[in-house]
Amino acid sequence: MSTTVTGNQSKVDDSAKRRALGKGLAALIPGAELKDGGGIQRAPLLVPVDSISPNPYQPREGFSEEAIDDLVCSITQNGILQPLLVRRRGHGYQLIAGERRWRAARKANLERVPVIVREVSDAEALELALVENLQREGLNALEEAAAYRRLMEEFGLTQDEVARRVSKSRSAVANALRLLALPPAVQAEIRAGRLSAGHARAIAGAPPRAQAGLARQVIARRLSVRETEQLARQAARDTDWDRAALEDRLRRALGTKVRVVARSNGSGRVEIEYYSLDELQGLVDRLAPGTA
């Protein structure tokens, strides 16, 4: 059975592409939601598998070899049921979405694979790869957050714009981005799958100095997300108490109101109030005696 190749496929205008990105792959690829060979709305183009290069904007950091092997078995028996999404690059093509299928096709020694060609910008290529992974394969929490940050930093999108593009709430995007500030040891546990996205979000709500220890407790005790949230709130209360105790100690030592302002990265400042020049001079004498 031969596949008809359409050389001049109609182009989607920029505004239509923008609207489609927030609705997933099916909005950009007519017939992409079909899983079998029936009712294909547009014939794909068959191209050599070696003419396709991977997507440099792929948000996924790694691919499960076990999942790839399962897909190889499926492709060997049934072929590729859904075309890859690509864009033209030089004399070949660059993947936009479908890298898992492309890797499996190469492992299955297929010579050609079906593709749908679309001309999209770099930002749109990242958006579509992100949408595909969120809808089908599930990125880990850090991969998802890194993709959101990349959309913001490289392509100038706001959190609201990112949320609309990937059909998420703004709070979901903001909470995901907070995970990128977690300590490296905690991030490693997320990547290894020992901490879920829910656990990671709960830990991110704890004071920075408590996060690594909290993560170790969660794993060792196999705590639920709700239990982790409770521990994070307790850690925050303990930190507030410590700050109040420090402020009181400084107030008694200096004889005036003192406020400790802590930042999420562990730094901060100490605010010392004075109510006259004489009080200021007294503070200087206490803090720097014998200096002129």
SS3 280: helix
Report whether 93 contacts 87 (CB < 8 A). Answer: yes
Q: What are phi and psi of 89, to 5 degrees?
A: -145, 110
- Residue 127: both structure tokens together: 């958006």
Task: Identify the DSSP state of 133.
Answer: I
Tell me the C-alpha distance between 252 and 3, whole Å. 84
Angle at CA 105, nearest 5°, toward 99 and 111?
125
Tokens representing residue 214 in the block: 């909290």
**106's tokens:** 């190469």
Return d(Cα 205, Cα 15) in angstroms, integer: 39
Torsion sign across C-alpha atoms 130, 132, 135, 141: negative
CB count, 10 Å around CB of 191?
A: 14
Measured at the CA of 181, the angle between CA 137 and CA 160, to 5 degrees, comes to 65
99 labelled catalytic:
yes
The two three-digit tokens of residue 276, written as one number: 């006259």
- From the list 33, 65, 66, 99, the catalytic residue is 99
The residues assigned a catalytic role are 99
